[in-house]
Amino acid sequence: MTDGAGALLAATRGREQRSGPGASRHAPDTRPFAVLAAVFTLTQLALVRPVLGLGWDEIVYTSQVTSHHPAAFFSAPRSRGVSLLVAPVASWSESTVLLRVYLALLSGLALHLALRAWRGLFPTRVLVTAGAFFASLWVTLFYGPQAMPNYWVAIGALIAAGGFLRHRADPSSRGALWTVAGGAALMAWMRPTDAVWVTLPLLALALAGRHWRSLLAVAGGLAAGGAEWVIEAYTAFGGLGERLAEASRIQGGLGGHIALDDQLRSLGGRALCRPCTGSMPHPVITLWWFVLPLLAVLGLVLAVRARRTVRTLVPLACATTAAVPYLFMIEYAAPRFLQPAYALLAIPVADALWHLVTAPRGPWLRTARVLVALAVAGHLTVQLTVLVHTVERNLDSRRDWARTADELHRLGVRPPCLITGHEAIPIGYYAGCSSGATSGNNENTTVAAILRTAARVPVAALTGPGGSPPGYARSWPAHRVGDLEVRVAPAPGRDAG
């Protein structure tokens, strides 16, 4: 992948023209974007592998639109965007492989479109480098073919910010306004609260400059994308305030929490760091995380000197507001939370990198190029190494869920059925059963309802290592499945004892 990226960048450099609206009568060459998108898609399919089973959150989103699995509990913070995104495949096919291929292709196409939204604002070589940096992160490659919202928020952020700047440079461009609205709507469709954080600088800049059409495009996109979430707040959660409060509770109570160290711990490949304990990853793994903001600031300094400040300041500001809630307002971390920030920071970072390999004169030029080349090679090595280990670990955990489901079938727990207790949502999905919880963030039933269900269909209560079975299941026959204790309700008509 390193050689391919280098060849791609070398090929684009010879075709560069100076950036900026009106710099050329010819539209910038977008073929390098298509090549990068194809490489990104193929790399996902090769390294993440379509055989990777569905994860916990993917199951929640996908089960909402399938006809072959009961829908899992859908909590307050979630939005229906991902469910609708996977519906063209998941609504009629059980094939995880097909779903992965579909999402990989779609994520590659989306990256191509997001980079096109920036054409003319920066040289093509800068945009290709930015796209290559974002696409090469292990978190981007891992989540690109998954049914998760964060990558799509990142794509929407790039599209909205790029369209906003293009319209600012050419107010007569109606296409740029539609780009802004589309990017904002995509973000709000996937995660409405994230969309608001990302677009705060756009809204502030439009309001301060009295760019009313830009303001309307951002606000209209947010409204269009978030309308379903707001409507559902009133139909299922008692109102918008109630849904926001419940979402905050599920996320541990939004407030003044420092999660910088949690995010660092998650960079080693942890999908969810909650609670985030344990040792830090090796400094080699986390080094890029500290270098990234420094390069972005360097890109801003260069932009100020070149009198093109706004073009660099906007993605930097949007990246900052996108990261704020996940760095300073929650008590846990997941690397995917910062994908929108990484995508936006990639623009000034790429600009700074090209300056480092072109600006020096004499012997310093060769030294700078060697250092940057070594840094890029090391970065790719780290990202791909973490990706491979993350994929292997997730393959094992999801195969464990499938094996547990097979054992439940052997014990007579077959659809229609109900699973409660430890990891009930993923194991229930793999077993083809409904899932239930009487407490916690996924509470969706009561003990009385579980007992009534046990009188009609098979019910199993799962207890994890070190846990105790729920009171209603203590008299049920116990079985050992791996490191789980499984208590299966007596068949209807038979006594528990």
Asked whether residue 196 carries a pLDDT value surpassing 90, the answer given is: yes
Which value, to the nearest 10 degrees, does the dihedral of the CA atoms of residues 211, 215, 221, 222 take?
160
pLDDT band for 364, please (50, 70, 90 cuts).
confident
212-239 confidence digits (pLDDT tens): 999 999 999 999 999 999 999 999 999 9
Confidence (pTM): 0.92
H or E element that contains 478: strand 478-481
- pLDDT, mean of residues 135-143: 98
The per-residue pLDDT for 448 is 97
- pLDDT, mean of residues 275-287: 90
Cα–Cα nearest to 194, from 202, 204, 184: 184
pLDDT band for 353, please (50, 70, 90 cuts).
very high
For helices 363-410 and 31-47, give the axis angle rounded to 10 degrees. Answer: 40
137: phi then psi, degrees, rounded to nearest 5: -65, 140
Asked whether residue 3 carries a pLDDT value surpassing 50, the answer given is: no
The per-residue pLDDT for 497 is 44
For 145, 353, 367, 456, the CA distances from 360, given in Å and listed in that order, are 40, 12, 9, 76
Contacts of range 22-30, beta carbons closer than 8 Å, 24 or more positions apart: 23/120, 27/119, 27/120, 28/119, 28/120, 28/124, 29/124, 30/112, 30/115, 30/116, 30/119, 30/124
Q: What Rg value do the Cα atoms of the chain yield, rounded?
A: 24
What is the C-alpha to C-alpha distance for residues 15 and 124, in angstroms, rounded to an integer? Answer: 9
Asked whether residue 124 carries a pLDDT value surpassing 90, the answer given is: yes
Q: For all residues of the chain together, what is the average pLDDT?
A: 92
H or E element that contains 444: none
52 three-state secondary structure: coil
pLDDT band for 276, please (50, 70, 90 cuts).
confident
- pLDDT, mean of residues 196-205: 98
Asked whether residue 77 carries a pLDDT value surpassing 50, the answer given is: yes
The per-residue pLDDT for 494 is 54
- Where are the extended beta strands (E) located within 324-467? 418-421, 434-436, 459-463
Asked whether residue 288 carries a pLDDT value surpassing 50, the answer given is: yes
453-486 confidence digits (pLDDT tens): 999 999 999 999 999 999 999 999 999 999 999 9
pLDDT band for 359, please (50, 70, 90 cuts).
confident
Listed in sequence order, the DSSP H helices in 118-149 are: 124-136, 138-143
Asked whether 168 and 214 are in contact (CB, 8 A), the reply is yes
Asked whether residue 53 carries a pLDDT value surpassing 50, the answer given is: yes
160-171 confidence digits (pLDDT tens): 999 999 999 999
Cα–Cα nearest to 98, from 144, 52, 142, 141: 52
Asked whether residue 244 carries a pLDDT value surpassing 60, the answer given is: yes
Neighbouring C-beta atoms of residue 476, cutoff 10 Å: 20
Residue 449: DSSP 8-state: H
The per-residue pLDDT for 193 is 96
How many CA atoms lie within 13 Å of 427's alpha carbon, on the beta-carbon side? 28
Contacts of range 376-382, beta carbons closer than 8 Å, 24 or more positions apart: 376/2, 376/5, 377/2, 378/284, 379/136, 379/288, 380/1, 380/2, 380/5, 380/136, 382/284, 382/285, 382/287, 382/288
- The amino acid sitting at 205 is L
pLDDT above 70: percentage of residues in the chain? 93
The per-residue pLDDT for 493 is 61
What is the C-alpha to C-alpha distance for residues 61 and 211, in angstroms, rounded to an integer? Answer: 37
Asked whether residue 201 carries a pLDDT value surpassing 90, the answer given is: yes
Cα–Cα nearest to 277, from 295, 292, 264: 264
- pLDDT, mean of residues 334-359: 96
What is the C-alpha to C-alpha distance for residues 477 and 486, in angstroms, rounded to an integer? Answer: 8
DSSP string, 318-335: HHHHHHHHHHHS-S-B-G
- pLDDT, mean of residues 171-200: 96
- pLDDT, mean of residues 280-294: 95
The per-residue pLDDT for 27 is 60
Which tokens sit at 368?
């700078």
Cα–Cα nearest to 160, from 180, 141, 137, 143: 180
The per-residue pLDDT for 28 is 67
Asked whether residue 313 carries a pLDDT value surpassing 80, the answer given is: yes
Asked whether 340 and 150 are in contact (CB, 8 A), the reply is yes
Asked whether residue 100 carries a pLDDT value surpassing 90, the answer given is: yes
pLDDT above 90: percentage of residues in the chain? 86
Neighbouring C-beta atoms of residue 196, cutoff 10 Å: 17
Asked whether residue 29 carries a pLDDT value surpassing 90, the answer given is: no
- pLDDT, mean of residues 7-14: 43
The per-residue pLDDT for 6 is 44
Which tokens sit at 239?
């109102």
What is the C-alpha to C-alpha distance for residues 56 and 86, in angstroms, rounded to an integer? Answer: 15
